Amino acid sequence: GQQVMQIPQYQHVQEGEDFTTYCNSSTTLSNIQWYKQRPGGHPVFLIQLVKSGEVKKQKRLTFQFGEAKKNSSLHITATQTTDVGTYFCAGNAGTASKLTFGTGTRLQVTL
Amino acid sequence: NAGVTQTPKFRILKIGQSMTLQCTQDMNHNYMYWYRQDPGMGLKLIYYSVGAGITDKGEVPNGYNVSRSTTEDFPLRLELAAPSQTSVYFCASSYSMTQTAAFFGQGTRLTV
């Protein structure tokens, strides 16, 4: 079945440092979505990418969808303590209806 | 606008007991999902539905059942609770599978 892996599993940065998480799917995706889950909370949608090679920005966050539509990345510039949480990618493979989540990357930011 | 509502928020079950986790959405979404999240882990798909009367298995369906009699409601049934089902359960919905975000409920924390 479809597998979606993320690296790293965990990263601890100091406030102001950059952060990147990578998402890799075993199958080609029709789209990729990114979610953020604060500790004790539920996943919250951040963005969706659909086109091969697509790049989108949200303030300090940059999202990229790979050319082969099998990988994606999320880069945070100059992290803040409000960025703490777990970041998940999620995608649909081909015409599959089910939304499969990646393994997640937990980000810890300290002053 | 309530979005996705899950009840209960917390529940403790004894081994062998049964219960239903309720999920309802008021956004007229066609797609609904049930995920479980074990401590420090990712989200695993249990069941999903693409519309009323249609359900399908996800990655980890064993020990669970679902039904979708209306667009709004997607209850998850545990028939014989086992310790391995201790987890946080999230219900989510989306308008379509490809073009819109999945909105999540607040979760149900279940201990068996």
B90 contacts in A (CB within 8 Å)? 42-43
- Give the CA angle between residues B31, A9, A11 to the nearest 5°: 120
Cβ–Cβ contact B74 with A under 8 A: no
Q: How many CB atoms lie within 10 A of CB A101?
A: 24
Q: Would the pLDDT of B40 be above 90?
A: no
The residues, any chain, with a CB within 8 Å of residue A104's CB and separated by 6 or more, are A6, A9, A37, A86, A87, A88, B41, B42
A101 contacts in B (CB within 8 Å)? 35, 42-45
Cβ–Cβ contact B45 with A under 8 A: yes
Q: B107 - beta bridge partners?
A: none
Q: pLDDT tens digits, residue range B49-107?
A: 999 999 999 999 999 999 999 999 999 999 899 999 999 999 999 987 666 688 999 99
What is the rounded end-to-end Cα distance, in angstroms, of chain B?
Answer: 33
Each residue's pLDDT, cut to its tens digit, for chain A (111 residues) gives 778 999 999 999 999 999 999 999 999 998 999 999 999 999 999 999 999 999 999 999 999 999 999 999 999 999 999 999 999 999 887 666 788 899 999 999 999
Q: Reduce the DSSP state of residue A78 to 3 states and report it.
A: coil
